[in-house]
Structures are given as C-alpha cells and as structure tokens.
Amino acid sequence: MSPYKNILTHFEQGVFTITLNREHKRNAIDEQTMDELQDVLTNFPVNEGARLAVLRGKGKDFCAGADLDWMRTTQGMDEQQLSLQNMKLQKVFELWFDLPVFTIAIIHGNVVGGAIGLIASSDMVVASAETRFRFSEVTLGLVPATIAPFVLQRTRSRFVRNAMLTAMAFRTDKALEHGLVDRVIDYGQEQSIIDDCLEALNKTSSGAVSETKKLCNDLIFNRIDEPLDTYTTALLAKVRKTEAAAQRIEGFFQSIEKKG
C-alpha cells in the first residue's frame, strides 16, 4: 500500500512517475502534498535503476497552485512560522531541480502559481496545446518569491516577467515562445517523448548524467565557492578516473576496431 495520499508513484523500466493526486482540488498544493513530494524526492530510487523522472497531474488540470483553503488555516501563524512553511515548498523545488536524473513535467489544463515553479524546475516541459498558465500571486496580494528563482533561471523573457507583474493568463504557444515549455503535444501523446528520452538516456552513463546536471545547476545558481577553473578541472579529473568512463572509452575503441 502506498504511503502517500496526495501523490501517486509508479516505477517501471527506469521511469519513475509522480502524479499529483488531488483531483477534487485541481491538484492544488497543501502542506501534506509538500511533505509527500519532499519525502519521495529525498528517497528517490537512483540506485535502483531510475533513469528518468516524470511529474504529472491527475484529472483535468496539472496543478492549480497553492490550496487557498489550506492557506486560510495558516492565517494565525507569525512570520517565522510562515517562513518555515514556505521553506517546504522551496525545498520541493530544489529537490526536483537537483534530482540526479533527467526530469520531465507533462502538463495540461491549468498551471497556476506555484505549479509554474514545479515545471520551471524540470529539465524538460511537455505541454498539451491548450494548457493555460497564470502567475496568480499578485491578485492575492502575494509575491511569487519561491518560484521566481527557478522561473528566471529557465527564461529571462520580458514577457514572463510581465506576466508575473500583471497576472495575465497565457497559453501554450506563448509559454513555448518564451522558454517555459520545450515541447507541445496533443493531449495523451506524451509516451513517445518519454520513450525517446529513455532510449537516449540508456545509451549514457548515469553517473556522468548526474555529474553533468549538478555542474549545470551549480553554475546556474552560482553555488561554486572556489575558482571556476579549479572546480571544472577537478570534476573532469574525478570523472575520468571512474570505472564507467574507463569502460566506455575502451568500448569506443573496440567498436572502431570491429568496424575496421
């Protein structure tokens, strides 16, 4: 029996799928959802052969952002308590962003507020053509503070910035044009993209993919606290000494010899 209520998980043939499972709430995020996402991402089965992680939403919407009914119950909290609570969502974004496998968000319906933070933290975003997006925070007197770092690392588009300021809704075509979405599909046609990505990833070294993703993310968020040349040369030296690198380089030369 699954330990989770607000999310569903499925692991098969290298693909780990997480499905937001609050259809009656349009998959809006409450504290339990944050706790469950944090738990599943912290305990992600990297060492059990997972090569690809997929995030999706059950029902007609991917995610309607924060659960406002739940937010109403927190009005009595002081700023410190609210900050600690907000940190949970920030941690979810960070864990998904730094997950040591390739990640895909498959989205449809409405993608609102914090949900845009989830997709912006993904390596690839695949959207149905009729998906609707909205940064709703300012209409509620709020600020998109936890999602902004992830949105702005994905796209520096003036359009996206202005969408945060005005809360104007937009569709998939604009999200694609301005970098929030990578691929557009007909609803229900996402399996071919998952299969293509998995086929490509299965030809790579999982360790090299993980190290490359960490390198990119550390550069994006300026998390390197030593001279850049020291960091990059040491990283490459470390990876070159791995068994996977030795085997793959030797395999390359063997394949050439066979062709010759």
Q: How far apart are CA 115 and CA 57, in angstroms?
A: 10
Contact 57, 108 (CB under 8 A): yes
Claim to verify: residue 154 and residue 251 sit in the same structural domain: no
Q: What is d(CA 122, CA 54) in angstroms, rounded to the nearest whole number?
A: 9
pLDDT of residue 226: 97
Answer whether residue 146 is part of any domain: yes
Statement: residue 257 has pLDDT above 90? no
Domain for residue 1, yes or no?
no
- Give tens-digit pLDDT for 177-204: 999 999 999 978 999 999 999 999 999 9
Query: pLDDT above 70 covers what percent of the chain?
Result: 99
| Model confidence band, residue 152 (pLDDT cutoffs 50, 70, 90) | very high
Distances (CA, A) of 119 to 65, 126, 255: 12, 9, 39
How confident is the model at residue 260, as a pLDDT? 64
H helices present in the chain, as ranges: 31-42, 68-72, 79-97, 114-120, 148-154, 158-166, 172-177, 191-201, 206-220, 228-240, 243-259
pLDDT of residue 36: 99
Q: What domain range includes position 215? A: 204-259
Average pLDDT along the chain: 96
The answer, yes or no, to whether residue 94 has pLDDT greater than 70, is yes
- Span 77-82, average pLDDT: 97
pLDDT band at 1 (very low <50, low <70, confident <90, very high): low
- Answer yes or no: is 243 within a domain: yes
Whether pLDDT at 121 is above 90: yes
Integer-rounded Cα Rg, in Å, for the chain is 20
91 close to 38: Cβ distance less than 8 angstroms? yes
Are 37 and 157 found together in one domain?
Answer: yes
Are 2 and 32 spatial neighbours (Cβ–Cβ below 8 Å)?
A: no
Q: Are 158 and 74 within one domain?
A: yes
Nearby residues of 39 by Cβ (< 8 Å), 6 or more positions away: 3, 4
Total domains present in the chain: 2
97 falls within a domain: yes
- Res 49 pLDDT > 90: yes
pLDDT (mean) for 98-115: 98
- Clarify whether residues 47 and 93 are in a common domain: yes
The pLDDT, as a whole number, for residue 188 is: 80
> 28, 147, 110: which is closest to 160 by C-alpha?
147
Q: Are 223 and 217 in contact (CB under 8 A)?
A: yes
| Residue 2, in any domain of the structure | no
**Tokens 């090569």 belong to residue:** 51
Q: Is the pLDDT of residue 160 over 70?
A: yes
